[in-house]
Structure 1
Amino acid sequence: MLTNIMYVTLYVTDQDRALRFYTEQLGLEERVDYPGPEGRFLTVGVPGSSLEIILWSHAAASGQPAEAQPDTAPGPVFLESDDLRNDFKVLRDRGVTFVQPEPEDYAFGVRIEAVDPDGNRISLRQRGRASRGDG
């Protein structure tokens, strides 16, 4: 039986820049940094969580800028917060780029979208009381 999600991959154009963003700005921890024969295997994760994000080197597509693109489709990574409005202030002060000026309430809690240096969307969420099943 399947028991866990091990990895989620994000394609980045500069692994060192991505590592600084995910650790220094978002506050994730570096897990693995291995210079393997098929390329550098670099992962980060939320402290205390077993899921790791692979920051896989991938050249920018022809005609596509490597800079953050705030109007791109929602991202592949959702990170959960227990106090998103407070975390938003901390992350904003660390220089994280957000799509909206402030977190917004929605049917299932509070949300805001961040963008990494390669334009990957990072969806930050705080569940509402009803979505936790406690009323």
Structure 2
Amino acid sequence: MLTNIMYVTLYVTDQDRALRFYTEQLGLEKRVDHPGPDGRFLTVGVPGSALDIILWSNTAASGQPAGPQQGATPGPVLLESDDLRADFKVFRDRGVPFDKPEPEDYGFGIRIEATDPDGNRISLRQRASWQSPRES
């Protein structure tokens, strides 16, 4: 029986730059940073959440982007906020690029889209007041 989602993978061209974006700009915490035979295994996550996001290098040995991975579809990552409008202001002040000037209301709450330095979409959401945390 499945019990948990362990990891979500985002392909990045510069792991250090991605780490700075996710920790310094979005406020996630660095969890694992381990060199390995297949490359650096680097993860971040929302404090208190069990899910880790792997920031996996999508760079070939030449240092150039390796191109699309077979069967890989990076993003979007959906991050939940309990006060998205307030978080949006903090993130905007930290230089996070957004697709719209302000979060918008929609049928399931409030939303806005951002992008990381590699173009991965980051969806920021706040649940509607009628939703329980397990219904989205």
Q: Shorter chain as normaliser: what TM range?
A: 0.7 to 0.9
Measure the CA separation in 2 of the matches of 1:16 and 1:103. Answer: 28
2:129 corresponds in structure 1 to 129
Q: Deviations over 1:31-89 (max 9, x none)?
A: 00000010000000000001000000003356x9xxxxxxxxx9420000000000000
Q: Deviations over 1:96-117 (max 9, x none)?
A: 0001110000000000001000
2:13 corresponds in structure 1 to 13
2:84 corresponds in structure 1 to 84
2:29 corresponds in structure 1 to 29
Deviation (angstroms), 1:131: 2.3
1:94 corresponds in structure 2 to 94
Secondary structure (helix, strand or coil) at the match of 1:3 reads coil
Deviation (angstroms), 1:130: 1.9
Deviation (angstroms), 1:24: 0.2
Measure the CA separation in 2 of the matches of 1:34 and 1:40. Answer: 6
Measure the CA separation in 2 of the matches of 1:13 and 1:33. Answer: 16
Higher strand share: 1
Measure the CA separation in 1 of the matches of 2:91 and 2:81. Answer: 12
Measure the CA separation in 1 of the matches of 2:18 and 2:75. Answer: 15
How much identity, in percent, do the aligned residues show?
A: 80
2:53 corresponds in structure 1 to 53
Does the alignment pair 1:108 with 2:108?
Answer: yes
Secondary structure (helix, strand or coil) at the match of 1:20 reads helix
The gaps in structure 1 that reach 5 residues or longer are 65-73
- Calculate the aligned-residue CA RMSD, in Å: 1.9
TM-score by length of 2: 0.86
Measure the CA separation in 2 of the matches of 1:109 and 1:132. Answer: 12
TM-score by length of 1: 0.87
Secondary structure (helix, strand or coil) at the match of 1:96 reads coil
1:70 corresponds in structure 2 to none
Deviation (angstroms), 1:132: 2.4
Question: Structure 1 runs of 4+ off > 6 angstroms?
Answer: none
Aligned length: 124
Secondary structure (helix, strand or coil) at the match of 1:92 reads helix
**Which amino acid letter does the alignment assign opposite residue 111 of structure 2?**
R
